[in-house]
């Protein structure tokens, strides 16, 4: 046998092996009681998904296939579920069948430690350490800090010399305000000069977000051949290394302040210190908690605050601009709270509790523009419901964008109608809590949910004491393709108008 022939045989064998490997799971969703989006030759059900806007694709598939359908993400079998009753069972009642999320290899030792993807025991420990950050008294303290910053930022914009109005991508305003919130409320320290030259904190955050959810042809290949992750980590190591150093320095500085017994208000850096010290206890040592866990927690907190919270705020501004009568009602509500205090009210934690219409507007923006458009669980024990079967090992995906627009549960689902969230308004037909999946549900739901609501309301209430939003002729919303779970969109330019 010639060497050329031998090499040719090896090559053919390799190709056959790779094809069989990529297609290995393609029969795993057969005859389980729901339709399946047919997989392509080797790249799963949507080989060109990276070129498309994923949440809009989810919506189309929901309209075509219904409440439950099978899908292959690369070689990974998934069941997509948009039915609120099934969502309730999966996330809450039968949660013991869906205990974890699919362990994801990001190809980086920090991102591999992100809370969401840890095994049950480690997740439980980490979650118990971070939960006290969102106790009522902590939210009150952070709200006070945010109120001061919101007032400051609003006054600063007011003092700028422009006429009646200025055109702006509101996200840049909200982004800077939230960056300061992270600095002041979470770290108690300015972060500006703490990142290497060339990396201001918000540039670093933007880079991490775009890498985190990035999705291109290489990701598509990794989904078909997961072992390729070694050569194509989901997130390049450079920005993570910068972030890691930043967090470790924060911890070190804070520890030395503790040693010097400076009287400090508890903040998120203290949680990271608590985590590292608790993990030393004999009963937790087997969990192998390291500095990377602390960095991964900081990464998740900072990114969720920086990106996820600003998305619904920006969309709320857009929806108010396009619905002037709704905006008028919000303004009246804010003014009436201010009037009760002769205009001296501080629009913080307490004051926004008296603004149910503002809350309803924020909730409606969260419904229509969920910052994460996928909630996922892994089936760990076979499950069956009304003839539908989900087997252990299969991933369950809740397409949030589609579920939040389910026509059975929302009248005129694409319209911005805050009244649907008010006790006194025209309630939705079913009022099914599980038709709103923006924060997930059950024990693994978003731990920062309450704080996210406070942030949205406090930022908007303070801003709207002084400004309103108007559409420009060319204002439009354009979503970006190439994101696997974070809602990405081009800047939305609005006119910001001074109130008389």
Q: How far is CA 28 from each of CA 17, 31, 58, 79, 160, rounded to the nearest angstrom?
A: 19, 9, 21, 11, 61
Q: Is 173 in the site for ligand HEM (CB under 6 A)?
A: no
| 99 in contact with ligand HEM (CB under 6 A) | no
140 CB-near residues (< 8 Å, 6+ apart) = 349
Instruction: List the one residue from 62, 439, 463, 469 that touches ligand HEM (CB under 6 A).
Output: 439
| Binding span for ligand HEM by CB under 6 A among 60-68, 157-165, 304-312, 336-344 | 304-312
**42 versus 78: smaller Cβ distance to ligand HEM:** 78
- Consult the annotation and say whether 437 binds a ligand: no
Stretch that binds ligand HEM, among 49-57, 221-229, 257-265, 441-449 (CB under 6 A): 441-449
**CB–CB of 322/314 below 8 Å?**
no
Considering only 34, 125, 451, 467, the residue that binds ligand HEM (CB under 6 A) is 451
Taking CB atoms, the residue at the shortest distance from ligand HEM is: 440
Q: Which of 105, 116, 144, 346 binds ligand HEM (CB under 6 A)?
A: 116
From 73-81, 401-409, 414-422, 443-451, span contacting ligand HEM (CB under 6 A): 443-451
Tell me the backbone φ, ψ of residue 395, rounded to 5 degrees.
-90, 135
Contact 483, 54 (CB under 8 A): yes
Distances (CA, A) of 448 to 128, 135, 302: 13, 10, 11
Q: How many CB atoms lie within 10 A of CB 21?
A: 15
| Strand 395-399 versus strand 76-81 pairing type | parallel
CB nearer ligand HEM, residue 401 or residue 439:
439
| Site residues (CB under 6 A) for ligand HEM, limited to 409-428 | none
| Pairs from 149-152 (Cβ < 8 Å, separation ≥ 24) | 149/177, 149/180, 149/181, 149/184, 150/177, 150/347, 150/458, 150/459, 150/461, 150/462, 150/463, 151/346, 151/347, 151/462
Binder among 94, 300, 333, 364 for ligand HEM (CB under 6 A)? 300
**395: which residues sit within 8 A by CB, 6+ positions away?**
73, 76, 77, 78, 79, 102, 376, 377, 378, 379
Q: How far is the CB of 331 from ligand HEM (least distance, A)?
A: 23
State in angstroms the smallest separation of the CB of 452 from ligand HEM.
4
**Residue with smaller CB distance to ligand HEM, 122 or 441:** 441
- Closer residue to ligand HEM in complex, CB, 356/442: 442
Residue in 309, 358, 487, 492 binding ligand HEM, rule: CB under 6 A: 309
How far is residue 360's CA from residue 338's CA, in Å, rounded to a whole number? Answer: 19
Partners of residue 2 on adjacent β-strands: none
Which 344-383 positions form the footprint of ligand HEM (CB under 6 A)? 370-372, 375
- Binding positions for heme are 446
Residues that bind ligand HEM (CB under 6 A): 115-116, 127, 300-301, 304-305, 308-309, 312, 370-372, 375, 438-441, 444-448, 451-452
């Amino acid at each position: 046998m010639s060497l050329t022939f031998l090499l040719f045989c090896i090559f053919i064998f390799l190709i056959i092996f790779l094809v069989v490997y990529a297609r290995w799971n393609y029969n795993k969703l057969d005859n389980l009681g729901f339709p399946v989006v047919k997989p392509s030759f080797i790249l799963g059900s949507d080989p060109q998904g990276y070129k498309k806007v994923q949440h809009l694709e989810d919506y189309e598939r929901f309209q075509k296939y219904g409440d439950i359908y099978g899908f292959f993400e690369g070689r990974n079998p998934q069941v997509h579920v948009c039915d609120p009753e099934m969502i309730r069972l999966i996330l809450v009642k039968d949660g013991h069948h869906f205990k974890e999320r699919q362990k994801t290899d990001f190809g980086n030792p920090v991102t591999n430690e992100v809370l969401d993807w840890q095994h049950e025991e480690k997740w439980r420990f980490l979650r118990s350490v971070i939960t006290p950050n969102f106790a009522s008294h902590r939210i009150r303290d952070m709200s006070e800090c945010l109120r001061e910053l919101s007032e400051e930022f609003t006054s600063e914009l007011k003092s700028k010399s422009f006429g009646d109005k200025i055109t702006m991508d509101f996200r840049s305003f909200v982004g800077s305000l939230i960056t300061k919130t992270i600095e002041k409320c979470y770290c108690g320290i300015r972060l500006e000069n703490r990142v290497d030259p060339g990396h201001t904190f918000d540039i670093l955050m933007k880079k991490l977000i775009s890498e985190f959810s990035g999705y291109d042809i290489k990701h598509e290949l990794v989904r078909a051949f997961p072992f390729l992750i070694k050569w194509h980590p989901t997130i390049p190591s450079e920005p993570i290394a910068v972030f890691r150093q930043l967090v470790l320095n924060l911890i070190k500085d804070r520890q030395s302040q503790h040693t010097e017994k400076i009287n400090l208000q508890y903040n998120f850096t203290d949680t990271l210190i608590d985590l590292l010290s608790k993990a030393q206890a004999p009963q937790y040592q087997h969990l192998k908690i390291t500095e990377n866990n602390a960095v991964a927690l900081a990464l998740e907190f900072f990114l969720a605050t920086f990106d996820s919270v600003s998305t619904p705020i920006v969309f709320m501004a857009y929806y108010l601009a396009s619905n002037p009568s709704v905006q008028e009602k919000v303004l009246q509500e804010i003014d009436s709270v201010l009037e009760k205090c002769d205009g001296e009210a501080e629009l913080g934690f307490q004051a926004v509790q008296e603004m149910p219409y503002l809350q309803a507007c924020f909730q409606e923006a969260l419904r229509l523009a969920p910052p994460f458009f996928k909630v996922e669980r892994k089936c760990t024990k076979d499950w069956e419901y009304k003839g539908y079967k989900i087997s252990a090992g299969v991933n369950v995906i809740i397409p949030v964008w589609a579920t939040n627009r389910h026509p059975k549960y929302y009248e005129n689902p694409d319209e911005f109608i805050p009244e649907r969230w008010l006790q006194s308004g025209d309630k939705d037909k079913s009022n099914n809590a599980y038709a709103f999946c923006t924060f997930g549900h059950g024990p693994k739901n978003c731990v920062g949910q309450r704080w996210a609501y406070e942030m949205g309301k406090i930022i908007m209430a303070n801003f709207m004491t002084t400004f309103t939003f108007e559409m420009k002729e060319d204002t439009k919303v354009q979503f970006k393709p190439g994101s696997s779970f974070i809602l990405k969109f081009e800047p939305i330019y609005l006119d910001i108008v001074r109130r008389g």
